[in-house]
């Protein structure tokens, strides 16, 4: 189940298979070697306050995993981070209570969007990073996983804006959405127990470790692709500095084979992905 705003819906691309939902679903199907049914409920222009109705539509379908990407419109509409996070936390809480895994892509860095001039650019960057850190903490506290999406509009996009930004210079291009999906796919696989055996425990040489949640959230905002999830230390979920979390830098997975038009025509799973993603 895919929920959120225009970034989740893949606004601006020409073909449904270029949307984040289709990329993630096909990547999951390839690596898990299973059919995947995707339902996209993301709404272009949605703010965090709009997550409630999306969750209402999602829960009766009993999804295995919900992917949420939200926050950019909260920043552009100057919504208080505390208000935004309250809505996200409630969405994660409802999914987890229903036994559904949750992966949240946190608010991207809006400071690299070309149409935003200084000093608004610096304000947008500060606001989006603060919201991303708060989203991270709220998601982990509600037993979800967060993935930093800073690079969706961050350094890689700043270095190649013509390639990775779409025509409106605000939303990603097809290549940009592909990078976004590549960041989230390893965490999606892990949420469903489909990660490789050698990645089940943190790897110190990759900078992976256990930290208090506030410290980990700040580091995650600085390092795109960082995943945070709750853990225990000596049987305790909390220490003197709050919730314990695992900070992970999972390896990106090679993309699975893309279905061509003829293959999609005869593949019920591919048709389901195309129809539902188009509805988003």
Instruction: Indicate which residue of 6, 26, 84, 146 is catalytic.
Output: 6
The distance in angstroms from the start CA to the end CA of the chain is 11
Hey, how many other C-beta atoms are within 10 angstroms of the C-beta on 162? Answer: 7
Q: Is position 151 annotated as part of the catalytic site?
A: no
Q: Are 24 and 62 in contact (CB under 8 A)?
A: no
Instruction: Indicate which residue of 56, 64, 83, 168 is catalytic.
Output: 168
Instruction: Indicate which residue of 74, 148, 171, 259 is catalytic.
Output: 171
DSSP class of residue 44 equals T
* Backbone dihedral angles phi then psi of residue 13, each to the nearest 5 degrees: -85, 160
**Separation between Cα atoms, residue 245 and residue 147, nearest integer Å:** 13
Q: Is position 74 annotated as part of the catalytic site?
A: no
**Separation between Cα atoms, residue 134 and residue 138, nearest integer Å:** 6
Q: Is position 26 annotated as part of the catalytic site?
A: no
Hey, how many other C-beta atoms are within 10 angstroms of the C-beta on 182? Answer: 18
**Residues labelled catalytic:** 6, 168, 171
């Amino acid at each position: 189940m895919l929920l959120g705003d225009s970034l989740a819906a893949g606004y601006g691309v020409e073909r449904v298979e270029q949307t984040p939902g289709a990329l993630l679903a096909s990547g999951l199907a390839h690596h898990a070697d299973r059919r995947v049914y995707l339902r996209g409920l993301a709404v272009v222009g949605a703010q965090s306050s709009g997550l409630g109705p999306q969750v209402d539509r999602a829960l009766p379908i009993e999804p295995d995993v919900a992917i949420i990407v939200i926050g950019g419109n909260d920043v552009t509409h100057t919504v208080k981070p505390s208000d935004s996070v309250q809505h996200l936390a409630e969405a994660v809480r409802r999914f987890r209570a229903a036994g559904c895994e949750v992966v949240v892509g946190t608010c991207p860095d809006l400071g690299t969007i070309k149409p935003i001039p200084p000093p608004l650019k610096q304000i947008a960057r500060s606001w989006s990073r603060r919201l991303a850190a708060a989203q991270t903490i709220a998601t982990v506290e509600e037993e979800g996983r967060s993935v930093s999406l800073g690079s969706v509009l961050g350094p890689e996009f700043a270095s190649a804006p013509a390639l990775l930004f779409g025509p409106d210079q605000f939303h990603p291009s097809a290549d940009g959405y592909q990078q976004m999906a590549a960041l989230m796919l390893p965490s999606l696989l892990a949420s469903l127990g489909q990660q490789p055996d050698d990645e089940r425990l943190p790897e110190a040489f990759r900078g992976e470790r256990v930290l208090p949640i506030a410290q980990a959230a700040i580091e995650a905002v600085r390092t795109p692709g960082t995943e945070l999830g709750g853990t225990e230390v000596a049987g305790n979920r909390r220490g003197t500095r709050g919730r314990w979390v695992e900070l992970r830098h999972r390896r990106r997975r090679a993309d699975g084979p893309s279905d061509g038009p003829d293959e999609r025509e005869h593949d019920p799973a591919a048709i389901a992905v195309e129809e539902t993603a188009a509805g988003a």
